[in-house]
Amino acid sequence: MSASQDGAKEVTLGALFAAIVAVATMIHIPVPGYRIYFNLGEGVIYCIALLMGPKYGAICGGIGGALADVVLGYPLWAPFTFVIKGAEGFLAGRFRQKRKQAVLIGACVMVAGYTLAAGLLYGWKVAPIELLTDLAQAGVGAAIALVALPYIERPVRRFIGK
């Protein structure tokens, strides 16, 4: 494959994975009375980061998560999501050799980032609700990723040619 074909394949994979993050994030449960929601995007971000590394984790997590915020009617959150999910995906991908630790690092970034953002946006009384929601979301996402990875790793690697 030529360099331009490799570049096109990387862009295509990035777009595909960002779209999958967006769709998984759009499978959500709003928290009544607050402009926050529980979603399944975490598991997908962890899978992408652990399989593809920090670049894909960051780009797909940030773009996919922010896109979902805009589509779901939470545009105020999109810039925060772009940074938080991007950092989460980057760090999970960076430490991917130790999967459980990588997911834990990513989860800590996500929980801390969104708790801080909720406090800044809506006041510190909302922060504990955001914290609890994010802990549950990170836990479910970690479980999804760590259970699914052994089953999807070989087919994904075959699909991407690695």
CB 103 within 8 A of CB 140: no
Position of tokens 């979301």?
137
CA atoms of 125 and 85, how far apart (whole Å) = 23
pLDDT exceeds 70 at position 34: no
CA dihedral 71, 72, 76, 80 (to 10 degrees): -80
Mean pLDDT of the chain: 92
Closest by CA to 47, choosing from 95, 11, 92, is 92
Instruction: Write down the pLDDT at residue 1.
Output: 61
Q: What's the whole-model pTM score?
A: 0.92
**Which amino acid would we find at residue 107?**
A
* 65-111 pLDDT, tens digit each: 999 999 999 999 999 999 999 999 999 999 999 999 999 999 999 99
* 37-69 pLDDT, tens digit each: 778 899 999 999 999 999 999 999 999 999 999
Q: What is the DSSP letter of 38?
A: E
CA atoms of 90 and 11, how far apart (whole Å) = 17
**CATH numbers and ranges of domains, the chain:** 3-160 (1.10.1760.20)
